Amino acid sequence: MLATAQRMVVPFGTISIPETSRERIGEILQTKRVSSGKYVRMFEQKFADLLGVKEAVALSSGTDADILALAVLHDYGARRGDEIILPALSFVATGNAVLHAGFKPVFVDIDRRTLNIDVNQIEDAVTERTRAIMPVHLMGKPADMNPILAIARRHGLEVIEDAAEAHGAEYQGKPVGSLADMAAFSLYVAHIISTVEGGIVTTDREDFAEVLRSLRSHGRACKCRQCVLNSTQAHCPKRFLGGNGEDIRFVFERIGYSTKMNELEAAIGLSNMEIYREILEKRRQNLLYALERFSRFHPYLATIQEEAHEKIGPHAIPIVIQEEASFSRADLTHYLEENGIETRTLFASMPTQCAGFAYLGYREGQFPNAEYLGKMGIHIGVHQDLGLEEMEFVLQTISRFLEVHQR
Ligand SMILES: Cc1ncc(COP(=O)(O)O)c(C=O)c1O
């Protein structure tokens, strides 16, 4: 154990902006080619290579990555109102995305031990209108993908990973984001690879990637991996093939969105990726240090654990106040915040604790585990600007809290 920690400030998130991003941004501003172009394409290629997948399509947010991955299914026979199975507990963006893509969310409770969808309850939720399962790797802990993929195969469903919080996570030796038909990552500042705001969909399906590229730009007929017009301003041989002077950029093949990444964001993402391994290692060291020492808070507080078949993507330390505790979540969060430790709630049961979903008609009590976490869960940062001293400070602060508040 490290020495008793001095009072510290432990913010939730950070972003690394290495010098190379400033150089790239300067160059981009000089050329005035700031909308999606060659840097976005370079970023996509690097991201795809990192995961060992064929395609990556960059977008303006992780929410849009969820929405567009789902919207691809409309090109493959899905009808408006078809059903998507997802966990009841996630950041609300997952549920919002299902609705924005024109589908009906069908929620399944989570397993309190993993925070992820309870795989034993998925098959009961499958109906004739189910099109896909969307597991979320919450807090970077991989969802149990083998049973999920087996259920999908049995029923002819697609699987789309919500990997927003799971950069660097692995399941049975394979990177999260390469495990299913598509995966959606967030590149928001709180995440390991960041473009400030941003998102990216990964897939091995080249046809899915083409549809994604069309969807992100209004449903245009343009689907090239690298747009010659945007990246080099060279002649595009496909542009007027439609005849009658019709420009391919004004042929709209599907209902689209407007959600491209720009060059300045890609510049930050590219520089971030140059130091990705260091960021990942630092955050994993922080997370594992805290998780390994967490059992001292049993039976009052619980967290997740890394299992032999996986590597957790180090997003944050989730903390769940247990039934044995004689204090409230408010007591704990106020104490931590007063002591300089920023907290976030551990989300909510979307169908029963988020007002926007009330019209779907779910009732409180249908998702006991998700609802419990919605009332009793928090999470704390493990980012790369923190070290083991800060982790020790967090652990010691929690110990002091328990000494005072646990009767
Ligand atoms: C599980 C999950 N899905 C989706 C998103 C949406 O990402 P963004 O904030 O980039 O839109 C987030 C946000 O971090 C998330 O945690």
pLDDT, tens only, 261-314: 999 999 999 999 999 999 999 999 999 999 999 999 999 999 999 999 999 999
Instruction: Name all residues whose Cβ lies below 6 A of ligand 1.
Output: 61-63, 66, 90-91, 93-94, 136, 162, 164-165, 186, 188, 199
- Per DSSP, the three-state class of 354 is coil
Are β-strands 83-87 and 130-133 bridged in parallel, bridged antiparallel, or unpaired?
Answer: parallel
pLDDT at 163: 98
Q: Is residue 3's pLDDT more than 90?
A: no
pLDDT grade for 407, boundaries at 50, 70 and 90: confident
**Can you list the domains of the chain with their CATH numbers?**
19-273 (3.40.640.10), 275-405 (3.90.1150.10)
Residue with tokens 């009793």: 376
pTM above 0.75, yes or no: yes
- Average pLDDT in the chain: 96
**Ligand 1 centre distance from Cα of residue 157 (Å):** 23
Q: Is residue 7's pLDDT more than 90?
A: no
- In whole angstroms, what is the distance from residue 352 CA to residue 257 CA? 29
**Whether 35 contacts 260, CB under 8 Å:** yes
* pLDDT tens, position by position, 166-189: 999 999 999 999 999 999 999 999
**Ligand 1 centre distance from Cα of residue 164 (Å):** 5
Protein residue closest via CA to atom 12 of ligand 1: 164
Q: Does an H or E element contain 86, and which? A: strand 83-87
**Ligand 1 centre distance from Cα of residue 295 (Å):** 29
- Cβ within 8 Å of residue 379, ≥6 positions away: 139, 315, 316, 317, 318, 319, 343, 344, 345, 346
- In whole angstroms, what is the distance from residue 61 CA to residue 196 CA? 9
Percent of the chain with pLDDT over 70: 99
Are β-strands 158-162 and 301-302 bridged in parallel, bridged antiparallel, or unpaired?
Answer: unpaired
Which atom of ligand 1 lies closest to the CA of 138? 1
pLDDT at 367: 98
For a substitution probing ligand 1, which of 92, 188, 346 has the most ligand atoms within 8 Å of its CB?
Answer: 188
Which atom of ligand 1 lies closest to the CA of 97? 4
Q: Is residue 2's pLDDT more than 80?
A: no
Q: Is residue 78's pLDDT more than 70?
A: yes
pLDDT grade for 383, boundaries at 50, 70 and 90: very high
Tokens matching residue 85: 């199975």
Which atom of ligand 1 lies closest to the CA of 190? 14
> Is the bond leading into 147 cis (omega within 30 degrees of zero)?
no
- In whole angstroms, what is the distance from residue 117 CA to residue 108 CA? 7
N-terminal to C-terminal alpha carbon distance within the chain: 26
pLDDT grade for 232, boundaries at 50, 70 and 90: confident
Residue with tokens 């779907």: 360
**Ligand 1 centre distance from Cα of residue 90 (Å):** 9
- In whole angstroms, what is the distance from residue 142 CA to residue 136 CA? 8
Q: Is residue 238's pLDDT more than 80?
A: yes
Closest CA to 197 of 64, 49, 381, 36: 64
pLDDT at 249: 92
* pLDDT tens, position by position, 348-379: 999 999 999 999 999 999 999 999 999 999 99
Tell me the HSE value of 151 on the side-chain side, using a 13 A CA sphere. Answer: 22
pLDDT at 69: 99
**Whether 291 contacts 304, CB under 8 Å:** yes
**Ligand 1 centre distance from Cα of residue 62 (Å):** 5
What mean pLDDT comes out for the span 239-255?
91
**Lowest-confidence range among 50-54, 218-222, 233-237?**
233-237
**Whether 198 contacts 61, CB under 8 Å:** yes
